[in-house]
Amino acid sequence: MKNCILLLVLLATSFALAQQPSIGSNGNNNVNVNINNGIIQVNPDVTSGTKAELKAQARKQFGRADNWRSILVPAHDAVKVSACKRGVPAGALTVMLGAGLVSYCTDPNCSMNLVSSPTENYLSVSRKGKSLKVEAKLFDRDGRILTEIKDNKVYINKNDVFRWSRPDPHTLTVTDQEDRNALSLRFANKDAVYVEGRFFTRSHDLCIIDKTKALCGSTEISGCAGNDLNTIVLGR
């Protein structure tokens, strides 16, 4: 009798477990969380949007799918730029660093160093045709590298980064272990990019780019920077 009861309990438990979704599944059979020795690690190759959709978009846009990680395509967001009183030239690439700083580039194929020092670029964007390429090297408060985006690849320090994601073909985000927005970049439309973030430079300067200010170290800039390919330069 006891054996029969034990068998029924085991069968019921097995059935209940079979009905539960597997740990780390996002519903598309893409495992986005690994559990290793009790440590939960986010798989950096899986995003909030489906990887298949992003690859398909990259293949359609560029003829290749391996650059889906750091290449953005424009959305169709309506953007109003009020910081530049004289307006922005038609067709210029306008970058809004938070709500306080606007910079633009009139070259159709231009590269802009958004945060840099005389020896290192920390955040840059470049437009070529209808695409936007992102490159970044961000640090934490202890001088350890937080994330690097280079050559269409995203490298993360799993001890510092909670997740990075591509929620859609227009957006890239990096979230640190304190659940703060280390970097959020959206290609709002073919002529506008919106950037927010909170990170450190190699020299321990804290950069805060949000809805109120654009500040790096002791350098705070607001208003219209104009046609400037080097927007925030530390130690200049």
Residue ranges of domains in the chain: 40-77+95-231
Token pair recorded at residue 5: 């009861």
Q: Is the pLDDT of residue 208 over 90?
A: yes
Through-space distance between the first and last CA atoms of the chain, rounded to whole angstroms: 84
- Return the pLDDT at 65: 53
The CA distances from residue 54 to 61, 63, 132, 155, 194, in Å, are: 10, 13, 14, 18, 20
Alpha carbons 170 and 186: distance in angstroms, whole number = 6
Alpha carbons 229 and 216: distance in angstroms, whole number = 17
Return mean pLDDT, the chain: 75
Q: Residue type at 35?
A: I
Q: Is the pLDDT of residue 73 over 80?
A: yes
Tell me the mean pLDDT in the region 198-220: 91
- Return the pLDDT at 188: 94
- Return the pLDDT at 8: 43
Q: Is the pLDDT of residue 229 over 70?
A: yes
- Return the pLDDT at 38: 26
Cβ neighbours of residue 144 closer than 8 Å, sequence gap 6 or more = 157, 159, 160
Q: Is the pTM higher than 0.85?
A: no
Q: Is the pLDDT of residue 61 over 80?
A: no
Give the model's confidence band at 134: pLDDT under 50 very low, under 70 low, under 90 confident, else very high: very high
- Return the pLDDT at 152: 74
| Residue among 209, 206, 202 at smallest CA distance from 231 | 209
Residue 129: phi and psi, rounded to 5, are: 65, -120
Tell me the mean pLDDT in the region 200-212: 92
Q: What percent of the chain is helix, strand and coil (3-state, nearest 5)?
A: 15, 45, 45
Kindly report the three-state secondary structure assignment for every residue of 128-192.
ECCEEEEEEEEECCCCCEEEEEECCEEEECCCCEEEEEEEECCEEEEEECCCCEEEEEEEEECCE
Q: Is the pLDDT of residue 96 over 60?
A: yes
Q: Is the pLDDT of residue 151 over 90?
A: no
- Return the pLDDT at 163: 85
Tell me the mean pLDDT in the region 106-123: 92
Token pair recorded at residue 65: 């799918």
Tell me the mean pLDDT in the region 126-152: 89
- Return the pLDDT at 139: 95
Which pLDDT tens digit goes with each residue over 4-47? Answer: 444 443 344 344 333 333 222 233 333 222 222 222 222 333 33
Q: What percent of the chain has pLDDT over 70?
A: 70
Q: Is the pLDDT of residue 193 over 90?
A: yes
- Return the pLDDT at 128: 83
Count of CB atoms within 10 A of residue 194's CB?
Answer: 18
Count of CB atoms within 10 A of residue 30's CB?
Answer: 15
Q: Residue type at 109?
A: N
Token pair recorded at residue 46: 């899986």
